Amino acid sequence: MGAASSEAHDAPEGERKTVTALFADIKGSTELMADLDPEDARAIIDPALRLMIDAVHRYDGYIVQSTGDGVFALFGAPVAHEDHPQRALYAALRMQEELRRYAGRLRAQGGVPIEARIGANTGEVVVRSIHTDEGHAEYTPIGHTTNLASRMQVVAPTGSIAISIRSSPEISAKEN
């Protein structure tokens, strides 16, 4: 068996799906952590991260990655839901609501309140499952849809949700 056959066998298989990608990030966390002891910073960031993760799970989203001060989540895969765009937006709204409450508690305790920005985009990706050396499976999407969702999060004003909506040819034809 040649090297090419071995590489093809090890390559992860992908499946094309329409999903909603969501990125959420705590704004200014780098500056916040620079002024605090790492344990103190963790004590502030971890509860916020837990709120984000819980919001994603509440609407059957999948956490692709935790970035330390944010999350990258997927709706519509690996668990398929026809209403995945709505689920992602409900999760984003819940994140912002819960983070505002948490920031209020921090402020009341004399701490520095935190805020988040969220970006979401719906479109096609190729999703694949990669098995790590430890036998853990990671489910990852590849494609422009995730890149655009990440960019939407970066440009979102603090405390807001930025989404992109792309009109499909079927919708445009129906409107004319």
Total domains in the chain come to: 1
Residue 172 falls within a domain, yes or no? no
State the Cα torsion 68-69-70-72 to the nearest 10°.
-30
Per the DSSP assignment, residues forming a β-bridge with 123 are 19
Note the pLDDT of residue 32: 65
**What CATH number does residue 122 fall under?**
3.30.70.1230
Note the pLDDT of residue 38: 79
Helix, strand, or coil here: 118?
strand
How far is it, in rounded angstroms, from Cα 65 to Cα 79?
A: 16
Residue 132 falls within a domain, yes or no? yes
How far is it, in rounded angstroms, from Cα 133 to Cα 19?
A: 27
Residue 144 falls within a domain, yes or no? yes
Is 118 in contact with 98 (CB distance < 8 Å)?
Answer: no
For 79, the domain range is 14-167
Note the pLDDT of residue 87: 97
Residue 9 falls within a domain, yes or no? no
Angle at 8 between CA 7 and CA 10, to 5 degrees: 65
Any residues with CB less than 8 A from the CB of 135 and at least 6 apart, and which? none
Residue 174 falls within a domain, yes or no? no
Give the pLDDT means over successive 10-residue stretches in the chain (176 positions).
42 80 86 74 90 98 91 94 96 97 92 90 90 74 92 94 72 42
Note the pLDDT of residue 20: 96
Residue 43 falls within a domain, yes or no? yes
Residue 107 falls within a domain, yes or no? yes
How buried is 150 (Cβ within 10 angstroms: 0-12 exposed, 13-18 middle, 19+ buried)? middle
Note the pLDDT of residue 6: 39
Residue 7 falls within a domain, yes or no? no
Is 19 in contact with 141 (CB distance < 8 Å)?
Answer: yes
